Amino acid sequence: MGCDQTGSGGGLYSIRVSFLVGLWRFKLRYAGQIESLTGQNSLLKDQVEDYRERLGLVSADKTAYSRLTNQELRKAVFEYQTKLEEFAERA
Domain ranges of the chain: 11-58, 62-91
Question: What pLDDT is recorded for position 1?
Answer: 47
Mention every residue, 6+ apart, whose C-beta is less than 8 A from residue 73: 65
- The span from the CA of 77 to the CA of 68, in Å, is 11
Question: What pLDDT is recorded for position 49?
Answer: 83
8 Å CB contact between 66 and 51: no
pTM of the model: 0.39
pLDDT, averaged in runs of 10, over the chain (91 residues): 54 90 89 88 88 76 69 88 90 74
Question: What pLDDT is recorded for position 20?
Answer: 92
